[in-house]
Structure 1
Amino acid sequence: MKKTQSKARQGEGLYIVLISIHGLVRGDDLELGRDADTGGQIKYVVELARALGAHPEVGRVDLLTRRVVDNRVSNDYAQPEEDLGNGVRIVRLDCGPRRYLRKEKLWPYLDCFADNAMKHIRQVGLMPDVVHGHYADAGYVAVRVANLLGVPLVQTGHSLGRVKRERLLEKGATADDIERRYHISRRIEAEEEVLGNAYMVIASTRQEVEEQYALYDHYRPERMVVIPPGTDLSRFHPPKVRAPRPPIYQTLKRFLKDPDKPMVMALSRPDERKNIPTLVKAYAEHPALRKAANLVIIAGNRDSIRQMDKGPRDVLTEVMMLIDDHDLYGTVAFPKHHAADDVPDLYRLVTRTRGVFVNPALTEPFGLTLIEACASGAPIVATEDGGPRDIMAHCHSGELVHPLDGQAMAEAIYGIISDPERWKRLSDNGLKGVRRHYAWEGHAENYVKRIKGLRREASRHRRGQQRLSGKLSQADRALISDIDNTLLGDRPSLRIMLQRLKERGRGVAFGIATGRRLDSAIQILKEWGVPTPDVMITSVGAEIHYGPEMTEDQGWSRHIDHRWNPEALRRLLLDLPGITPQPAEDQRRHKLSFFVDPAKAPGMKDIERLLHQEDLHANIIYSHDRFLDLLPVRASKGFAVRYFADKWGIPLDHTLVAGDSGNDEDMLRGSTLGVVVGNHQPELEHLYGFKRVYFADATHAGGIAEAFDHYDFFSRCGVPGDDDEE
């Protein structure tokens, strides 16, 4: 293992960064089914990381996830790093409150996760060959990391927000309830963004590509690649002849009058999308099936249903009521606990009793449990959606049914159990199909072949800081401020703030980040007596210059040229009502600027969707309910601040950024020390409560001076009470 690590540090072999943020991730004894966030995706990313690490062309794999410090969960999840061998590591990064949070609560903190991911990658000292996000939240982070690094982005959705919303609406949920519980609009917005930026999207099935991703505006089939998920064939295999019954058998036996009858088993977390109550009702209403088989429901682990979150609590309450309504006692097992090591034994019990494994989920993009069941010799009945279609096409090991047709589900199960010859044929088919199509080694081989085509030609090592000189190379912290209505606007407070900066600002890089063009920014700063900044980020982040000669950063210009098509963007915008171009002097190589009449123009969401549909890429910045700027997707004030800090070795958490309006938001979010001045626009008020965003009482430069004290900027330089949150 040491040899592999050494090779990776020298730049030999592919360096792959996987990102999977929510849930509980560790190398062994995965708590699958613990809650809605610790399901098949967790297992997938850990096994993918291991499979890639075992590939001879891969030097290093970092699986980035969230660090959790919470006495309600294992201390394993608080460890910053876990070595899985073969150059594979689970790296846990701080992200918001340290306690365990469900994924819907993580959105406000993802910018901090992205900044911490960048910090980790820079410490590694290698440029990744690919950054691979898993699920919408990780995709949001991966877009920012990949764009800052200039490396290819790969995405795996695992499940998609538009599909989930459709399925929940079909079941009777209201749009308002779905939005409130799942923040579904924000999730879909992140999915659209990652699809617009991804070099490659990995799906598990053709149906996922053609029917699920096709619902998105940024759907591009040429970027979609189907690589079926793998399974660990060393763990999942048929029962051995005369092998003793496993320990979990005794647990099930407590529930069942005749525990050796064929076992009909479902294994999933208690999520409404998993559709467990439909299976219970189907079993209950089929007398022949009730007589022939037992039903086993493995729905995560619980101590008390009352103490669970509302979603799982509602599902399990409905299951218990169905058991009671149909008097299924003695024929249904629903244990409260099982260990990860029990899962292969459970599949083998299905095979041993000549039963059937059932996945009744409303939507199933992957179907890892079906692959594991087939590898264990169990025939399957599954929903006719997503992954099960491809699995059945490869394995021919059971039947597909509509997930809401309980009668068809029961008939399919009974048809397999009641026909011994058919049962044996389906079992054999599944074993052969899994070995041929779903081994992790084959998945890794296909994956590596694909990403090698995305490798960048540029050097994979970080440029050496020793080649940089001057004041910026000596700075250990920075102040970056917007100009209009932030730095400028009140002369007395500006003089006081500048005097404090002059007296105590040794080692502080001073810069501005503005929507103004360079000459306009220089002129107004002179008029107000502001010394020449060390760095000037102008045109809303489209240009970076360094003083006093105002030398342009050509590297930034090349970096943001990615997928930039200004002529096509200009034509599209000018065809819309209520949008007119700003004067020619405000148009820049990497910035298109327009005036907007809100009474006539389409909403920003509509404009964004139109760009998606035309496969045009731009960062849309709307401010003061009047000004619209289009920038390259890699350009913004926030991206420029991060590029500057990284280039000059200034820690982001020692970078104070000040603003007053919406075009300042992305530099205020994340690991920077943010201050919103007292005269700010209402569009920033949703940032109230962010520990790293301070809302000053004083206006203009007085608010910046107030932030000097709040963050103890010239000394300790940090957030008060930041032991509770990163």
Structure 2
Amino acid sequence: MNTENNRKQIALISVHGDPAVDIGGEEAGGQNVYVRQVGEALAQLGWEVDMFTRLADADQSPLVQHQAHCRTIRLSAGPKTFIPRQEIFEHCDRFLEEFIKFSRQEGRNYALIHTNYWLSAWVGLELRRRLSLPMIHTYHSLGAVKYQSVQEPPETATRRLEIEKAALETAECIVATSPQEKDYLRSLVSSRGNIEIIPCGTDINHFGSITYEQAREKLGFSPEEKVIYYVGRFDPRKGIETLVRAIHQSQIRSQSPIRLIIAGAYRPGQSDGKEKERISQIVKELGLEEMTEFPGRISDENLPIYFAAADVCVVPSHYEPFGLVPIEAMASGTPVVGSAVGGLNFTVVSEETGLLVPPKDEEAFANAIDRVLSDPQWRNQLGKNARKRMEEEFSWEGVASQLNDLYSRFVTL
């Protein structure tokens, strides 16, 4: 597309989701992975990629070079400390000014901006208005869906809904990560605007790099025990309580030893730390302490090992726009039992790569987990089907190629 000396410059904007941080901390999840992986893959396809985020720690480097043509730039916007995403909007105007200042100082002439989440959408809409930059947007989470299940929406809810609608109707194109997200956008946000469906991806070489037997030996799991795995943020919307109560109801406990792994980083005293303590208390009340472990954050190096060693990966989210965990599990050859919500209806093919059940339904989750664990031959077939589906449709290279084609429609080459 672009020659080495004539690379087109693009900006990926992710105000609150820093693509250069370790994944698994508070508010460091799928969006961070998406931006980082997309940025690096696009650089390989010939783009000059700058990924912009907010400086959230005074000790952080303001610039991280990932490879020759892809870097993260952390802009100073508000206090140089962690701020919950619902409190960041008041600093977005500063983020905007710092973006413009940086691009002018560096002599950057961006051909296109790709914004992520509604906070970045506001920045993108302003850049589009001021600088006439073509704008692509990915939502990652829709307020119109999220607020349906929230009793007390945050103060920014009205503004968020306005910005999400403006982005759909104004941006050159919206990237929906699943057909379900496109349906939500049309039914809940606006009938106007352009939408393309391009899924999130996964590293199919990283996940799937170790066999079930090798992974279990490495982690010291016995052949007899059934390993049930959750990995993700500690957040009530992730449905971890549903999983724990489902295991309490599970019939498989009387037939085989169970190891329940609930992995994810948490910070004592913060919202994720408080949720971890709440889940730990439920585990204790239900008498599941001996079979349950909380290993904390799993390193990128060890993630494929845990996924591969599990008999089933459970994704009990109340709402999941896409969800990287299920495709990482399936790329590892591990079937998924998940909530029949949002993007999970797209990524997980029920009865073929796993099972989907209603969210918050403890009995349904218990029955689904039992079905998978009680039939090892079927479990293995689900895992093989899952791996094949990921190889064919969900590699980051394939995602970047689709984005490359989309960008090229709006950039003068």
* TM band (smaller chain): over 0.9
Match of 1:472 in 2: none
Instruction: Give the structure 2 partner of residue 431 of structure 1.
Output: 387
Report the identity percentage. 28
Using the alignment, how far apart are the partners of 1:246 and 1:166 within structure 2? 44
Give, as a single letter, the amino acid of the residue that structure 1 aligns with 2:334: A
Encode CA deviations 1:399-419: one digit per residue, 9 max, x unaligned.
Answer: 111112111111111111111
Once the two structures are TM-superposed, the CA of residue 335 in structure 1 deviates from its matched residue by: 2.3
- Separation in 2 of the partners of 1:241 and 1:382? 21
Whether 1:223 and 2:198 are equivalent positions in the alignment is no
Aligned equivalents of 1:259, 1:327: Cα separation in 2: 24
Q: Contact 2:34/2:200 (CA < 8 Å) preserved in 1?
A: yes
2:92 is equivalent to residue 110 of structure 1: yes
Letter in 1 for 2:398: G
User: Could you tell me which amino acid in structure 2 is paired with residue 279 of structure 1?
Assistant: L
Name the counterpart of 1:405.
361
1:133 is matched with 115
Out of 19, 23, 26, the residue aligned to residue 13 of structure 2 is 19
> Counterpart amino acid of 2:270?
M
2:410 counterpart of 1:454: yes
Offset at residue 69 of structure 1 (A): 3.0
CA pair 162-246 structure 1, distance change in 2 beyond 3 A: farther
- Match of 1:488? none
Residue 201 (1) aligns with residue 196 (2): no
Task: Give the 3 Å change call, closer, same or farther, for CA 246–156 of structure 1 in structure 2.
Answer: farther
Distance 1:14 1:298, change over 3 A: farther
Matches within 5 A, 1:633-644: none
- Structure 1: distance between partners of 2:217 and 2:123: 42
CA contact under 8 A between 1:32 and 1:269: conserved in structure 2?
no
Give the CA deviation at 1:230. Answer: 1.1
- Take 1:434 and 1:367, find their aligned partners in 2: how far apart are those partners? 13
Q: Answer yes or no: is the 8 Å Cα contact 1:62–1:88 preserved in 2.
A: yes
CA distance in 1, matches of 2:278, 2:223: 24
> In 1, distance between residues paired with 2:357 and 2:185?
19
Using the size of structure 1 for normalisation, the TM-score is 0.54
Q: Does 1:277 align with 2:277?
A: no
Q: Deviations over 1:192-249 (max 9, x none)?
A: 2222321100011011110255311x443x61110011111221115248647577x3
Alpha-carbon contact 2:62-2:73 (below 8 Å) kept: yes
Whether 1:143 aligns to 2:143 is no
Measured in 1, the distance between the counterparts of 2:170 and 2:254 equals 51
Amino acid at match of 1:125: G
- Is this contact kept in 1: 2:117–2:139, CA < 8 A? yes
State the Cα deviation string for residues 547-594 of structure 1 (Å, max 9, x = none): xxxxxxxxxxxxxxxxxxxxxxxxxxxxxxxxxxxxxxxxxxxxxxxx
For 2:327 and 2:276, locate their aligned partners in 1 and report how far apart those are by CA, in whole Å: 25
Runs of 4+ in 1 over 6 A off after TM superposition: none
1:392 to 342, 348, 363: 348
Give the counterpart of 1:190 among 158, 163, 171. Answer: 163
Larger radius of gyration: 1
What is the letter of the counterpart of residue 166 of structure 1? Answer: Q
CA separation in 1, counterparts of 2:118 and 2:99? 16
Equivalent position of 1:61 in the other structure:
49
Q: Secondary structure at the match of 1:151?
A: coil
Runs (5+) with no aligned partner, structure 1: 169-173, 458-726
Q: 1:23 to 1:259 in 2, by over 3 A?
A: farther
Equivalence for 1:38: 28
Displacement of 1:152: 1.1
Alignment of 1:198-597 (within 5 A): 198-216=171-189, 218-220=190-192, 223-237=194-208, 239-240=210-211, 243=214, 249=219, 261-289=225-253, 291-292=255-256, 294-302=258-266, 304=268, 307-309=269-271, 312-350=272-310, 355-393=311-349, 396-456=352-412
Query: What amino acid does structure 1 have at the position aligned with 2:161?
Result: I
Q: Distance in 1 between matches of 2:162 and 2:255?
A: 49
Superposed displacement of residue 52, structure 1: 0.6
> Residue 425 of structure 1 aligns to which amino acid in structure 2?
Q
Residue 163 and residue 246 in structure 1: after superposition, are their counterparts in 2 closer, same or farther (change >3 A)? farther
8 A contact 1:238–1:375 mirrored in 2:
no
Q: Distance in 2 between matches of 1:13 and 1:155?
A: 22
Residue 300 of structure 1 aligns with an amino acid whose one-letter code is: G
Contact 2:239–2:318 (8 Å) recurs in 1: yes
- The SS at the match of 2:164 is helix
State how far apart, in whole Å, the 1-side matches of 2:102 and 2:122 are: 17
**What is the rounded CA distance, in whole Å, between the counterparts of 1:303 and 1:98 in structure 2?**
18
Matches for 1:85-104 after TM superposition, within 5 Å? 85-104=67-86
| Deviation of the 1:51 alpha carbon | 0.8
Q: After TM superposition, list the pairs within 5 Å mapping 1:157-196 onto structure 2.
A: 157-168=139-150, 174-175=151-152, 178-179=153-154, 183-196=156-169
Q: Is the contact made by 1:283 and 1:290 (CA closer than 8 Å) also made in structure 2?
A: no
Post-superposition CA distance 1:250-273 (Å, at most 9, x none): 6xx7xxxx7851211111101111
Q: Note if contact 2:10-2:112 (Cα within 8 Å) is conserved in structure 1.
A: yes
Cα shift at 1:24 = 4.0
- 1:122-169 Cα deviation digits (max 9, x unpaired): 23434322111100111111111122111211110000112111122x
Change (3 A) 1:98 1:166: same
Letter in 1 for 2:12: L
Structure-2 residue corresponding to 1:628: none
After TM superposition, the score normalised by the length of structure 2 is 0.92
Partners of 1:427 and 1:209 in 2: CA distance = 28
Partner SS state of residue 295, structure 2: coil
Name the CA distance, whole Å, in 2 between partners of 1:118 and 1:49: 20
Which one-letter code corresponds to 2:154 in the other structure?
A: E
SS class of match (2:337): strand
**Quick one: distance in 2 between partners of 1:273 and 1:437?**
27
Contact 1:18 1:64 in 2 (8 A): yes
**In the TM superposition, what is the alpha-carbon distance from 1:294 to its structure 2 partner?**
2.5
Q: Following TM superposition, by how much is the alpha carbon of 1:34 offset from its aligned partner in structure 2, in angstroms?
A: 1.2
Secondary structure of the 1:292 match is: coil
Instruction: State the SS of the aligned residue for 2:196.
Output: strand
